[in-house]
Amino acid sequence: MDKVRIGIIGCGNMGSGYVRMITGGDCPDAVITAVADRKAERRKWAASMLPSAAVFSDGLELIESGECDAVMIETPHYQHPELAIAAMRHGLHVLSDKPAGVYTKQVREMNEEAGKHPELVFAIMFNQRTNPVYIRMKEIVSSGSYGAIKRVNWIITDWYRTQIYYDSGAWRATWAGEGGGVLLNQCPHQMDLVTWICGMPSRVRAFCRIGAWHDIEVEDDISAYWEYPNGATGVFVTSTGDAPGTNRLEIDLEKAKLVAENGKLSVYVLDVSEREFCRTAKGGFDSPPGHFIDAGTEGDYPEHKGVINAFSSAILGKGKLIAPGEEGINGLTLSNAIYLSSWLDRTVDIPFDEDLFLSELEKRISTSKAKEERSITFSTEGSYGGASHV
């Protein structure tokens, strides 16, 4: 196999972007040989872009066709695990867009199926793991060189969305169609990164505001607080209603402070651990001395194409994945805990009762309102990465 034959399931905002990316030569180890979409106008567009590719009206038809070696899943969130499981059972490699799914019980089943097929490559589109800033933050935290985490603060409000964005599809911003709002749509990257870099919290208290800034039935504004097993704490704030927004991640360690903002990472290192300084200082108002160091964040930032290239490379036996698919459950666990805490109006321990979460989600699905299908597709160019998402 010289190139991986890829089938793209879903040619909406993200799927159409990947078609352009791969046909534009950004992914030299991949070729699109099949596409699927339930909407006729998108199939027509795909056929015009990919005259030699097979075009299907359903993802399962594509999976069963034999036209590809691997699939990229670019559908509404509930379908991600369902299609991934079907693909694996047909011997296909899988790259699923984020989130891994809507609820952890569903994603756990997907991971179990992946475990039955060690010969297949399974990845998830966590493109922010290619960002040198976050890579360096993980290296610093994981090394233990600057002590344990004391506090994590992330305010990520530069997700501004207009009403027409939410009105663009019948599935969007509904419990039945999308399974959530800003937390499940925009923030899977942050949920992944914060668990990838800092580990999993042990308990969460959160407040999800339903339609605070838009006419939608799901949340568009969240404030969450969590605690780690070692006593460290975290605060997470996000919204699609702030303009201009902010994206600032702070991680306080015992001997350093990391701040990621505006595409840059600053690292301030104390001369002595704050814990030691606190115990030994003679002055009540003394502050521990320190200095900034070179953050060491030079390097390529390939984003989505980097994940696709790593996926193709792993299939061809030439490299390793950036984001193994099984890790998609980690950020979703924190996301589900945030929802459950808000729904129950109490602190939730992690791990939580997955059946209880599903029961609460189903209550919201049962009251979800049908929306008019607008079938609007927006260009995603320029809406990811760069300074606005670091």
Co-location of 217 and 352 in the same domain: yes
Co-location of 237 and 150 in the same domain: yes
Comparing CA positions, the residue from 299, 290, 273 lying closest to residue 145 is 273
157 DSSP β-pair partners: none
Co-location of 65 and 182 in the same domain: no
Co-location of 204 and 343 in the same domain: yes
Co-location of 356 and 277 in the same domain: yes
Q: What is the pLDDT of residue 390?
A: 31
Co-location of 236 and 264 in the same domain: yes
Co-location of 53 and 10 in the same domain: yes
Co-location of 145 and 93 in the same domain: no
- How many structural domains are present in the chain? 2
Separation CA 111–CA 81 (nearest Å) = 9
Would you state the structure tokens that stand for residue 185, as one six-digit string? 């749509």
- Per-residue H/E/C for 2-51: CCEEEEEECCCHHHHHHHHHHHCCCCCCEEEEEEECCCHHHHHHHHHHCC
Co-location of 8 and 157 in the same domain: no
Return mean pLDDT, the chain: 95
CATH at residue 245: 3.30.360.10
Would you say residue 338 has pLDDT above 80?
Answer: yes
Average pLDDT estimate for 291-305: 95
At 1, is the pLDDT very low, low, confident or very high (cuts 50, 70, 90)?
confident
Separation CA 181–CA 175 (nearest Å) = 8
- Helix, strand, or coil (residue 63): helix
Co-location of 224 and 357 in the same domain: yes
Quick count: other Cβ atoms within 10 Å of Cβ 139?
A: 12
Strands 30-36 and 54-56: parallel
Sign of CA dihedral 249, 354, 72, 378: negative
Average pLDDT estimate for 363-372: 90
- By residue range, what is the domain housing residue 203? 129-299+331-389
CA distances from 160 to 99, 115, 202, 219, 343 (A): 19, 38, 30, 13, 24
- Helix, strand, or coil (residue 225): strand
Co-location of 58 and 92 in the same domain: yes
Separation CA 113–CA 93 (nearest Å) = 12
Q: Tell me the pLDDT tens digit for each residue of 174-195.
A: 999 999 999 999 999 999 999 9
List of residues 6+ apart from 282 with CB closer than 8 A: none
Q: Tell me the pLDDT tens digit for each residue of 62-119.
A: 999 999 999 999 999 999 999 999 999 999 999 999 999 999 999 999 999 999 999 9
Co-location of 38 and 108 in the same domain: yes
Contact 326, 333 (CB under 8 A): no
Span of 141-155, 168-182, 346-360 with lowest mean pLDDT: 168-182
222 DSSP β-pair partners: 208, 238
